[in-house]
Structure formats: structure tokens, C-alpha cells
Amino acid sequence: DPALVKAEDFFKHIEAGNTSNPLGSQVTPVTVDQLFGLNTLGISLARIDFAPKGLNPPHTHPRGTEILIVLEGTLYVGFVTSNQGNTNRLFTKVLNKGDVFVFPIGLIHFQLNVGYGNAVAIAGLSSQNAGVITIANALFKSNPAISDEVLTKAFQVDKSIIDYLQGQSWYDNN
């Protein structure tokens, strides 16, 4: 009901994320779930805080393209193209304060703090809820688990390696 809309529906304050975790990074999303004023606008964003050597692990956004701007620090970023001609091409760049990089919709990408201090970036997304699939979590921490037969054949490794990977505590920084 438009009569019930208030200024708070269009405002969100974002604090720095806690990077004291196994990945050394924290993503603070601002989607339509956190900022109701984004409804129908087709955009959202996230603040990403990195400790030194912090990683935003390989992930994908199935419903949106990401554009990243570095506010402070130095990030090594990259994405992998889809299998074209049986080749997955890696595109990478080292970004500094003020640099911008785009990650096309649905492609696996990552960011790693390669600087000596903390880093902060803002990710703009072309969807009010772009979604996020963290690759390691999706493969090795799904519920129920993906069968060993599928994973051993896909990765061409012994079951003991799959068991080891499934036994890890995969941290989710989102």
C-alpha cells in the first residue's frame, strides 16, 4: 500500500563487517530484504570488508551482474568464463582505491585482499535480489549431501578426498 511507505523504507546504514572469521572477509548485503525501497527497482548492493589476506571466496550471482568499486585497499579479483571450446578462461586484475571491475551475471568470481591493510569494496548488483551461490559450500555442504559418486567422478579424485572436503567447516561470509 503506497500510503504506508515511509522514508525509512529508502534508508539503510551499513556498518563495517566483522572480518574475524576463517575467510577474513564479511559481506553485508543490502537487498530488497534489508531495504524495502529497492522493490521493483532492479538494483541492490553489498559492502565487502576484508582483513589482510581476506578472501571473498569463489561464488556466483545467478540473477545479477556485479560491479565492484574499491573504496580502500588492494584487491586481486577475477572471474572465469563459461566453457567455450572446452576452455574456461580466467580474467583477473589487481584493483586499488577508486578502481572498478565488472563480473558478468552468473559467472564464478572472487576477490582477495593482497594489500597490507584492510580493504573495503562496494558491489552494485543489477537485481533487487541477485542471489549468491558460494561454490565450495554448494558442492561440499549441501543438504542433503551430493552423492560421493557424483563428486568423485566430477573432480576425478578418491572418495577420501571428497569425505575430507565434506567434513570441513565451510564458512559463509554472506
d(CA 48, CA 124): 11
Q: Which residues are annotated as a binding site for Mn(2+)?
A: 59, 61, 66, 109
CA distance 132 to 110: 12
For the chain, the C-alpha Rg in angstroms (whole number) is 18
Binding site residue list? 56, 59, 61, 66, 109
- Distance CA(24)–CA(37), nearest Å, equals 31
Inter-CA distances, 41 with 31, 65, 90, 129, Å? 11, 15, 31, 10
Residues tagged in the binding site annotation for oxalate:
56, 61, 66
Q: How far is the first Cα of the chain from the last one, in angstroms, to the nearest whole number?
A: 31
